[in-house]
Amino acid sequence: MVLRDNQLRWLEHGTHLYPGVVINGETFRGQVNPDNILEAVCESFTDMPRYCKTWLKKEGIVVEDGISNFALGLIIFGLLVVNLMIVIAYRAYLNKEIK
């Protein structure tokens, strides 16, 4: 029973391929070393512990919180305005060419 369950888990996660490790249901294969595993564990936290932030900063891995929703909305709005201006200018150019 235990061996069958273990075999099913191996087949499900692909850990029978060497080397491999499963963290939070996600299989990591290839160049697996302690630093890669610690980075994967730290990145899996919703609210990253202070140790992880310190370690990632020491290793030169940038941890960004991302941009705010307001900034993202502002960027999208700006891109829409620029695209609208391009379409208007192109239509004006085509109207001149037709006449």
pLDDT of residue 88: 96
* CA-CA-CA-CA dihedral for 94, 96, 98, 99, to nearest 10: 170
Per-residue pLDDT of the chain (99 residues; tens, 9 = 90+): 877 887 777 777 655 556 677 777 777 776 777 787 888 788 778 888 888 888 888 887 766 667 888 999 999 999 999 999 999 999 999 998 887
In a domain? residue 42: no
pLDDT of residue 41: 81
In a domain? residue 82: yes
In a domain? residue 77: yes
pLDDT of residue 23: 73
In a domain? residue 87: yes
Q: How many domains does the chain have?
A: 1
In a domain? residue 17: no
pLDDT of residue 34: 78
In a domain? residue 93: yes
- Find the domain containing 71 and state its range: 66-99
